[in-house]
Structure 1
Amino acid sequence: MQDDSILLLDRAVNSVLAHSPDKPKPETVVEALLKAERLAKTSKHRHYFEEFLGTWRLCFVTGTQKTRQQAGNLIGSGLYLPPWVEIELSYLSLAQSPDLDGCEAIGRVRNQVNLGMLRVTLSGPTKFIPPKNIVAFDFTQMQVKVFGAKLYGGDIRGGQSGEAGFYRDRIAKQAFFAYFLVTDTAIAARGRGGGLALWGRMKG
C-alpha cells in the first residue's frame, strides 16, 4: 500500500496534466513532498537512471529559500505552474560508465520551456550518482524558436569542450537534482539551491 503522501502527490500531478481545477492545496503538496523526502532518507531506497528516462512535465515548485524571500506571498509555500507555462524535462541514456568516479550512468538532459509561441530548449550532459539518487547536469546547447521559426541554435557555456569537463568535475561544482520520489507517474527532487520540484510523466 502506498503512503498517503505519495497518493496526494500523484493526485497533484494528475490534476495538472489533466488541466483539472480540482487540485490539492499547495500547502498540502509541500507537506507531502517533505514527508516523501523524509521517508526516502529513512528507507535509503536506491534508484536507477533507467527509471528517469522519458519526458516529465514540471507541475509544482517551492522555489529556493532566496527566491521565496524575494517573491514573498507570490510563491508562498509553493505553487502550481500555470497552464500557459509548460516546462518539460527529458532524460536520455547514453552509456554505462563504471570508470567514472562515483558515476553509474551518463546521458543527456533537455529542458524545454513553452510560453505561447516562444519555445526555449536547453540541453546537455547528465550523470547519475547513486546511492543518493543524484542527477547532475549542465546545459551546453540552446535553441530558441518563435512561431516554429528558429531564431537561435548553438553552444552555450563552452559547448562540447564544456561537456568534456563536466564528466570530470566534482558534484560540488555542478547543478543537480537529488531525487527522493520516483514512481511510474511522478518524480520529485530537491535542487542544489534547496527548492523542491514535482514532475509528472508525459504520455506518448
Structure 2
Amino acid sequence: MARFFLCCLAVMTSAITVVAFSAPSSMRPRRKIISPSSSSSSSSAPLLSSSSSTTTTTTTASSDAEIREANELLRRAARTKLENPDRVLDALSSLERNCKLKFGEDPVAFGRDIMDNISGEWRLIFTTGTRERQERSGGRVNYFPLKAIQKFDVATTPMIIENGIYGPWDVPLLRFTGDFDYDARRRKVEFDFDMIEILGLLKVRLGRKDAAKIGGGLGLGSANNEKLADMGRRAFFDWISADDEIATARGGGGGLALWKRVVD
C-alpha cells in the first residue's frame, strides 16, 4: 500500500510541475512622439505618423489573425487529441508570442479578462513539461495521458487552487489544495499547496515547502520550485490566455501547457 501511495504521489507531482513553467512578461515600448519644431519638421510629421499608424494597424491585424488561427487549432486539439503534437506546440508558441503583443497594448484589461475566465475546472490536455524534463526526453512532447484536473476559485478569500489526478469513476487518487494570488498586470499566479488528499479519504496538512520537496525527492518536481521554496517564495506561472473553452500558460520550469474547460 505504501508503494502504491508513493507511485500515486509521483504521478501527481508530475502534474503539479505543469504549473511550474515561466516566461518573463514583455511589454511593447511606447512610440516616441516627436513634436514639430519647424515648418520642415511639421510637414514631415504627418508622413511619419501615417507610416507608423499603418504599420501598427498591419501588425495588430496580423497578430489578431495568428491568435485566431492558433486558438482554432488548440481548441481542436483539446476536443479530440488528434492534432499533431508538434503543431500543437507551434500553436502554443505562436499564441504566446502574439498574446504578449496584445498584452502590451493594454496590460490591465488583458490581465482582467484572464481573471474573469479562470474560475472553474480545467482538464490538462497537453504539456511540454519543464525545460529539464524536455532535455531528458530529447525534446519529445505529447498529450497528457491521465485525467488531471486543475480548479481555480476567484470568488473566495483567499482564492483557492486545486490540482488532482483522477482514476476510474472519477476517484481522486491524489488531490492537492492551496491558495493563490493573481497579479493582473503581469498575468502572474503565485501559489502554495498546503493540503494533500489521498483516494478522497486521507487528508494530510503540508508545510510551505513540502509540495516542492516531495516533487524534488521523487525526481519529478521542478528544481526551480524547490529553489523558490528554499528562498521562502511561492511557486508561480504566467497565464498566456483563458477563454470559455481553453486556457494556456507558461511558468517557472519553462514548460507550456494547454487545458480544456470542464463542462458539466
Cα 1:50–1:6 shift into 2, 3 Å: same
Give 3-state SS (helix, strand or coil) of 2:111's partner: coil
Q: Which has the larger radius of gyration?
A: 2
Where does structure 1 differ by over 2 angstroms across 4 or more consecutive aligned residues?
47-50, 115-118
1:5 alignment partner in structure 2: 70
TM-score, normalising length: structure 1: 0.76
Cα 1:35–1:172 shift into 2, 3 Å: farther
Give 3-state SS (helix, strand or coil) of 1:193's partner: coil
Give 3-state SS (helix, strand or coil) of 2:98's partner: helix
Q: Deviations over 1:117-139 (max 9, x none)?
A: 66100000111112121111110
Alignment of 1:1-204 (within 5 A): 3-16=68-81, 23-44=82-103, 46-48=110-112, 49-72=115-138, 76=140, 78-82=141-145, 85-95=146-156, 106-116=158-168, 119-145=173-199, 150=201, 152-158=202-208, 173-204=233-264
Matches of 1:172 and 1:188, distance apart in 2:
27
Greater share of residues in strand: 1
Give 3-state SS (helix, strand or coil) of 2:70's partner: helix
Unpaired runs of 5+ in structure 2?
1-64, 210-228
Matches of 2:102 and 2:154, distance apart in 1:
26
Matches of 2:163 and 2:86, distance apart in 1:
26
Residue 173 (structure 1) shift: 2.3
Residue 172 (structure 1) shift: 9.1
Give 3-state SS (helix, strand or coil) of 1:27's partner: helix
Residue 7 (structure 1) shift: 0.5
Residue 50 (structure 1) shift: 3.0
Residue 80 (structure 1) shift: 0.2
Q: Is the 8 A contact 2:164 2:172 kept in 1?
A: no
Q: Which has the higher contact order (CA 8 A, sep 6+)?
A: 2
CA RMSD of aligned residues (A): 2.4
Report the residue type matching 1:8 in the other structure. L
Give 3-state SS (helix, strand or coil) of 2:94's partner: helix
Residue 182 (structure 1) shift: 1.2
Cα 1:172–1:178 shift into 2, 3 Å: farther
Identity %: 26
Q: Is the 8 A contact 2:193 2:208 kept in 1?
A: no
1:19 alignment partner in structure 2: none
Q: Is the 8 A contact 2:192 2:208 kept in 1?
A: no
Matches of 2:172 and 2:164, distance apart in 1:
10
Matches of 1:142 and 1:107, distance apart in 2:
17
Greater share of residues in helix: 2
Matches of 1:33 and 1:192, distance apart in 2:
17
Matches of 2:247 and 2:94, distance apart in 1:
14
TM-score, normalising length: structure 2: 0.59
Report the residue type matching 2:260 in the other structure. G
Report the residue type matching 2:83 in the other structure. P
Give 3-state SS (helix, strand or coil) of 1:56's partner: strand
Residue 197 (structure 1) shift: 0.5
User: Aligned residues, how many?
Assistant: 170
